[in-house]
Amino acid sequence: MKNYLKGERVDLEVLERNKVYFEDLNIPKDAKIAFDGLERVIPSRQHSHNAAWVHLYKNMLHNAGWKNTQILKKDELYEGFDVLIIFLGIAYSGNINFFFGVDNNVCWRFKRIQDFSGKILVMNHEMPLIGSTIKPRLSNKSTSSKVSDLNLNSLDLICKQAVTFDYVKRENSLVFGDSHSFSTYSPGKNVCRNDGLTLYGALKRGLKETIEQRSGKSISEIKSLTLYMGNIDIRHHLCRLEDPIEETQKLVKDYIDQACKLDVKELKLVHSLPIENESRKLPKSGYYKGTPFFGSWRERRNLHVLFNSLLDRYALIHGYEVFKWPECFLNFDNELDFEYMERPKSVHLSPLSYYWDLNKNCVNKFHERRNDEE
């Protein structure tokens, strides 16, 4: 198979440090906990994939016993909270993005951090140094005069003392995959999300090695494993190859061969998503080599159908479980209906279509219907 590893997103900062668990941070179960963005508010849209990552952690905390949690809205204050959890954004890559410069709003947001007397935590990443980031921008025209309210050296110290955490508690169940993976979450599972990870890339490096390196967990620690990869391969890569059908067959066979060698008690493989209409608008972050996909809708749908049928066949032979997306996600043209996708644009499902309803803390109605039919 032609190598298409180039261009995969690998977060070296996350890979190189040990994983931290919220449960080890000695935070009382009755603590009042706030989630907030850094330089901007966490999106409030119910269809936001970005915000869903925060709702996922809020759900995990709730189910682990920390029930007094709140995702802050615009202009809400930190007074009365014991713990502040900073979310740097689902696409954070190591730098603070000042879209409108260090303006009044940014200064106000950072002043709240400066004045906060509680414990500050950061999801998934090390806290960037606010003061050091602002200093080179002090002479910029877009920098607000309110920056004088900030003690930049003090802010750097606060940022250095902030504690990064990755998981809420130690679980022996893991959901592992690409950016789509946490749509299959349910309570009692940890989630290791790897944006840009292709199935081909995971297999080439070694499935066991990839899972252990990126999750920080030994396979021996995992009893139940859900694997969800393949959407990126179908969208961007397989149709570029000389014989996409044959390469898909090889890919899935290698997937199963390596999965069989994983010493886990329960293994669940997730179907690829149906293919949406080609008119779907995507952000440039979803492009590869300048295009939102490669291959016609029919070509990619054929690979999607083949991929899923092979998973079903191999899972039946080996006794694995397969997670299937509800039939109602399809429109009359057998396309993934935009109704079930993130809005206004994205390759991802809307959080309202996930297996687990993160707000109601129960199985999503679409998946309940599927289970009743089965």
Total-model pTM: 0.94
**What distances in angstroms separate CA 284 from CA 97, 139, 235, 265, 287, one per listed residue?**
17, 31, 14, 40, 5
Q: What is the pLDDT of residue 374?
A: 44
For 295, the token pair is 């291959």
* Residues 136, 239: Cα–Cα separation, whole Å: 46
For the chain, residues with pLDDT lower than 50 are 371-374
Provide the pLDDT for residue 183. 98
- Give the pLDDT score at 372: 42
Distance CA 159, CA 121 (A): 9
Q: Which residues pair with 227 in a beta bridge?
A: 176, 269
Nearest to 85 by CA among 145, 47, 125, 26: 125
Residue 273 token pair: 């998503």
pLDDT, residue 363, reads 95
Can you tell me which residue has the tokens 């002090």? 138
Q: Which residues contact 165 (CB under 8 A, 6 or more apart)?
A: 20, 21, 22, 25, 121, 122, 123, 124
C-alpha 198/C-alpha 237 separation (Å) is 9
- Return the domain boundaries, the chain: 17-165, 173-373
* Range 17-165 classified under CATH 3.40.50: yes
The pLDDT of residue 198 is 97
- Residue 314 · residue 271 · CB < 8 Å: no
Q: Which CATH superfamily is domain 173-373 in?
A: SGNH hydrolase (3.40.50.1110)
Determine the pLDDT at residue 2.
66
Q: Would you state the pLDDT for residue 345?
A: 87
Pairing of strands 362-363, 356-357: antiparallel
**What is the residue-wise DSSP string for 311-359?**
HHHHHHHHT-EEE---GGGB-TTSSB-GGGB-SSS-SSBPGGGSSEETT
Q: Please give the structure tokens belonging to residue 277.
A: 């209409």
- Which residues are bridge partners to 122 per DSSP? 86, 164
